[in-house]
Amino acid sequence: MEKQNDVKPRPRVRLTNGLRLIAGAAGIEVDEAISARLFELSDDEFNALLQRIAADLGATLRGLERPGAPSIEIQLENFQAWQSGKGAEYYRWSSDAMEALRARLMELGPGCELIPCYAMSVGVKLPNGKLLLINRRGEETKN
């Protein structure tokens, strides 16, 4: 008589134990019926499930679910809305200052994120995580 599952039970036991540990850390319950179902899956079903879990867990741990930065134009529009929302003319950048910022962002390349924070400069987070402050002349500043 041929065995239905050629995969040794050890990976299934390790997966079940691992899921219990993760569930315990996350404060959720593992339905024992679902855990038992792991041992009823065919080898192909189990391997497909294992690959999905590994891919989802890996993506979560790497932070890949975080969406990329919006386009420069959208960020500049959002920055202008932020300036207007401050209610003080002091925060509003001139069209020349906005153009200098646009040029600097184009120079820095895609993936940069604007972080409005000050009246005279704006934070820019680079794709590598480094933070810069860009002033109204489009220059990097320390303050």
Pair of tokens at residue 78: 């959002």
Q: Say whether 72 sits in a helix, a strand or coil.
A: helix
Instruction: Give the pLDDT of residue 57.
Output: 82
Helix pair angle (95-108, 72-85), 10° resolution: 140
Each residue of 97-128: pLDDT tens digit? 999 999 999 999 888 999 999 999 999 999 88
pLDDT exceeds cutoff 80 at 59: no
- Please give the sequence-ordered ranges of beta strands (E in DSSP) within 10-130, or none if there are none: 113-116, 121-125
Question: pTM higher than 0.75 for the full model?
Answer: no
Q: In what order do the strands lie in the sheet with 140-141?
A: 113-116, 121-125, 131-135, 140-141
Mean pLDDT of 67-89: 90
| Residues β-bridged to residue 100 | none
Contact 6, 43 (CB under 8 A): yes
